[in-house]
Amino acid sequence: MNVTLTRRHALMGALAVAAAGTATACGSSSSAGNTDAKTINLLTSSDPKIVNNVKRVLGPEFTRRTGITVKIEQAGPAWTEVDTRLQADLTAGHRPDVALVGINSVRTYADSKLAQPMDTLMAQAKFDASQYSSSLLNVGRFDDRTMGLPYSVSTLVLYLNVEVLRKAGLNPDRAPATFSEMRTYATKIVSSKAARYGVAWAYSTDSNWALQAMLDSAGGSMMDPAEKHVTVNQRPMVRLLQYWRDLVRDGTSTVTTSADLTAAFLRGDLGMMLQSSSQSTAVAAGASFPIRIDVLPVPDGGRRRTPPGGGAAVIFARDEKVQRSAWKVVQELIGPAGQTQLVKTSGYTSVNQRALTDPRYLGNLLRKEPLRAAGVAEIKTLVPWYQFPGAHAVEAQKQLQNAVVAAMSGTEPVQRALDDAAQSISGLLVR
């Protein structure tokens, strides 16, 4: 736990130093960073689904068309490892011109004044916003400025084992739409012995992404709108975790990590799982039984609100000419051709709506691969993936995750676990 906190301190410290350097440079005749608009330095995750597609899209053909050469640097495969690499680079005085970071990290770089607003660049380039849903464009907006644009997007969806549902006497063509219906399905799966567990989700997702997906739809929040009070111990979260605690207590669900969740589903031990849509291709390939994927059931009385997981493009370059070249790089990645390349080789959902409808790109995708339809359907209900403010955001998320595990496993009563988490998080958050 102390390691996580120390790493976050170091990151925020590095960002503060870099931001201070920016302010100093702006007051001098020269500025630090790249000034060669024909060469763009891009930092990305080393996850093959990401980096291999970035290399293909920004390769020799892109250079021939634009005159821009993109030098690609790689961090580790996890989005948190991109943050760690940025920390090291900024501390050493090296900043990328563009970086693909976790969508929830965009706020961190916006708050530190390192991320550069894209709105002027978008206006100068006559950016066609009609190719993107307004909900998607809003994901990277802070203080009415576009600070990041999603590149690789996944959402939390419901995976169903068709054979298990049939054995339980359930209709696999009608997925549960609400949490009450999901409980009914899960109970029948277990009582009929069609599978060991009825339904489960992973508590170990980055920054409690899966938890937030359910909480947002339940009408809850991590903090109040003014970000003065932590709200993780209020009724929506309490009801949500009590729901899962009851399922675990009854033997209908289990407390599990993301990797174990998918493995259990593929073994046939789990009838339904709440998992990232980006795993659809891999799960379909690994399953020895037919599967179905549907949109996430909504907590009773709630409405669908979908925080996206995945990565976003952020521009760090300060030189205006370099920024214009960096914007061309971003446009290529989120454009129809760039998104077609990404989607065809991964389980991610296209952020570009034109690509989804134009037969030259992905126009026939949903007909050929109907398992992707749920992820596409959830794009219109996107909301920002929330990150706590301040230097201790990662530790705050860890405190919440610990409370979730304690509540679901029965180590502590749900309300007490969340009260303790709210108190701990309140003590950590300083803006």
Domain boundaries, the chain: 2-153+309-375, 156-305+388-428
pLDDT for 25 beyond 70? no
* pLDDT of 356 above 60: yes
Of 3.40.50.150, 3.40.190.10, 2.40.240.10, 3.30.465.10, which CATH number belongs to 2-153+309-375?
3.40.190.10
pLDDT category, 348, cuts 50, 70, 90?
very high
266: pLDDT strictly greater than 90: yes
pLDDT (tens digit per residue) in 28-80: 333 468 899 999 999 999 999 999 999 999 999 999 999 999 999 999 998 88
What is the pLDDT averaged over residues 113-130?
95
Which pLDDT belongs to residue 389? 85
pLDDT at 210 over 60: yes
Average the pLDDT over 414-428 and give the result.
97
Q: Given this model, what pLDDT does residue 390 score?
A: 77
- CA-based nearest residue to 146, from 314, 389, 377: 314
Q: What is the pLDDT of residue 398?
A: 92
pLDDT score of 366: 84
**Average model confidence (pLDDT) for the chain?**
91
2-153+309-375 and 156-305+388-428: identical CATH topology: yes
pLDDT at 173 over 90: yes
State in words which class domain 156-305+388-428 has: alpha beta
Residues 84 and 76: their CA atoms lie apart, in Å, by: 9
Confidence class of residue 431 from pLDDT cuts 50, 70 and 90? low
Percent of the chain with pLDDT over 90: 81
